[in-house]
Structure 1
């Protein structure tokens, strides 16, 4: 999709050698133990409802974060965290048509195991609050769109190096079958697992939207497979998609 396909291939090869460092930011390689409840929870994590909530503003988002949504953005993935210290959240996709934001889809989701933070650091197990662009996607699986369609709209890198390691507990093996990189402390235009951290390693990185395993993450936001497939088929660079994410109190501020 871009002229720098060769650069993407090289970066993916480099990323294979730095897999453990990258995964520390998303998925939790440091504490990925067997979770007996994860498989049972996963069955209840796929809520899909579309109650009418069309508005000239993204519901539940206050002036502080609303002002950071680029004027040209026509697609917003809103992540509503249940609470400051909660790992439970809801993801809603909004599309702007004319001057009105239309609520398109909704999914039950998870965020960092310890909740949310406005000052994210490596291994704090909290997801960063903020507004971030969505520029690149990928995964261990191929482009999720049917052969007759044009494929994932965001540039998509398929690589075995993105897959969750098999020494993690089995419920986590498919976390990275599909991922969308959240542009927090990363270089746009690179594969999601590119390890470069422009703000330094202490600020964390590898914050992704990825597939859900039924419980909290290290810092990412996880959705059911159907949700990830829908986002990959729907988000388009020309619509300047962003994610607005945080606990409900910080979102309203």
Structure 2
């Protein structure tokens, strides 16, 4: 059985580790991170050329099942995966870590897009901790606030005029996030609802400091696609497919 895992997320790597040795596993990474953490099994890096290209690759490499374990905000590849697997008549499962839920004391403002998040800043504060990744910073380019931008790799232009870049990769600790917010005198946090524990400590630190958080909502999974919340659930789904006649 040949399983294609789309994505370099923590859950994708965990799933590859669970299945490696049981089935043939190929993980496909987008190539947007300069030095990605490689999963177990075979690895390919780069795009497929849209839904048609992905469908062709699935057919040519005799893929039996596809797991979309991309970042919750990788909307384009998720919809391409849905179209490609429908075309190639191959089952698809979306592996999505649960989103974050506000706790008592949180001051969250919801936004549908990065552009809406930029508008939501308003008079919330002048010093913004921006943790939405290096892609899409153009949405904040015209904002007058000072930004601390944290990302794995250096962002491309355009970026806000008043920007300091912090290159770092999670997981992050609560003590570290507390210290960062205090050292940079952060007034407001902007984040995507990525879910998971690796980057969640910033939310606790913001709550403790009474800092408002602008949370960009994640896009929906394509209609009709089954969803697993954990790598273990996804591995069980794959094993179930392998037992089918």
Instruction: Report the TM-score range of the alignment, normalised by the length of the smaller protein.
Output: under 0.3
User: Larger relative contact order (C-alpha < 8 A, sep ≥ 6)?
Assistant: 1
Q: Which has the higher helix share?
A: 2
The alignment's TM-score, normalised by the length of structure 2, stands at 0.22
